[in-house]
C-alpha cells in the first residue's frame, strides 16, 4: 500500500491553521467595527490583512489555499445575494494581491525563503506593498459591484490600504518579535 508523504499532512495542517486564524481574526476584527469602520467593507484597523500576509509569508501555497477556502466561506456570508462565481472571483483576486506583493518584494529585497534575514524595516515594506496593492485592487472590485463610486475610489483605496497596513504591521510585527525572542532564548540556552 502506498503511503502519503508526511509533508502532505503538514501542508493540510498549514492550510487549516491559516484558514482558521484568518476566520478568527475576521470575527475578532468585527468587535472593533464601532471604533475603526471607515465605510462599508473598509476598516482602519484590519487584523485579517496581517494574518493573511503572515500566513502567505510562512505557509506559502498551502496557506494560500486555506485562506482562499475561508475567504469564499466568509464572502458567501457577507454577500448572500451574489453568485458563487462572483464570490470565488472576489476572494481569489483579493487574496492574490498579498502573495504577488509579498513574493515580489521578498525577491527584490533578497530575503531568504526561510525568512531568517527578514528585518523590521522589511516588515514595514512588505506590509505597505501588500496593503496598497490590496486597497487599490479591492476598491476596483468594489467599483464593479457598486460598493465604491468612481468619485470615492482613491479615497476609499487609501483608507483600505491604511487599515490593511495597520493590521499587517501589528500582526507581522508581533510575529517577528515573538520569533526573535525565541531565537534569543535558544541562543542563550546553547552551551
Provide the total of helices (H) and of strands (E) in the chain, helices listed first.
Answer: 6, 2
- pTM of the predicted protein model: 0.80
Indicate the average pLDDT of the chain.
Answer: 85
Return the CA Rg of the chain. Answer: 18
Distance, in Å, from the CA atom of 45 to the CA atom of 156, rounded to the nearest integer, reads 14
Three-state DSSP at 42 gives: strand
pLDDT one-digit tens code per residue, 166-187: 998 888 778 778 888 888 888 7
The answer on pLDDT for 2 being more than 80 is no
Band (1; pLDDT cuts 50, 70, 90): low
First-to-last CA distance in the chain? 45
Question: Half-sphere exposure of 3 toward its Cβ, with a 13 Å CA cutoff?
Answer: 3
Amino acid at each position: 500500500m502506498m503511503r502519503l508523504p508526511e509533508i502532505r499532512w503538514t501542508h493540510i495542517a498549514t492550510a487549516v491553521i491559516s484558514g482558521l486564524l484568518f476566520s478568527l481574526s475576521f470575527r475578532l476584527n468585527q468587535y472593533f467595527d464601532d471604533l475603526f469602520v471607515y465605510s462599508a467593507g473598509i476598516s482602519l484597523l484590519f487584523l485579517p490583512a496581517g494574518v493573511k500576509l503572515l500566513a502567505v509569508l510562512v505557509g506559502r501555497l498551502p496557506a494560500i489555499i486555506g485562506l482562499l477556502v475561508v475567504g469564499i466561506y466568509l464572502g458567501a456570508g457577507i454577500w448572500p445575494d451574489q453568485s458563487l462565481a462572483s464570490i470565488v472571483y472576489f476572494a481569489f483576486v483579493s487574496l492574490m494581491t498579498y502573495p504577488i506583493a509579498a513574493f515580489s518584494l521578498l525577491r527584490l529585497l533578497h530575503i531568504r525563503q526561510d525568512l531568517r534575514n527578514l528585518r523590521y524595516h522589511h516588515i514595514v515594506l512588505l506590509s505597505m506593498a501588500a496593503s496598497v496593492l490590496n486597497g487599490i485592487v479591492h476598491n476596483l472590485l468594489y467599483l464593479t459591484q457598486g460598493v465604491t463610486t468612481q468619485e470615492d475610489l482613491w479615497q476609499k483605496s487609501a483608507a483600505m490600504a491604511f487599515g490593511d497596513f495597520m493590521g499587517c504591521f501589528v500582526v507581522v510585527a508581533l510575529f517577528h518579535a515573538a520569533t526573535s525572542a525565541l531565537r534569543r532564548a535558544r541562543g542563550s540556552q546553547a552551551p
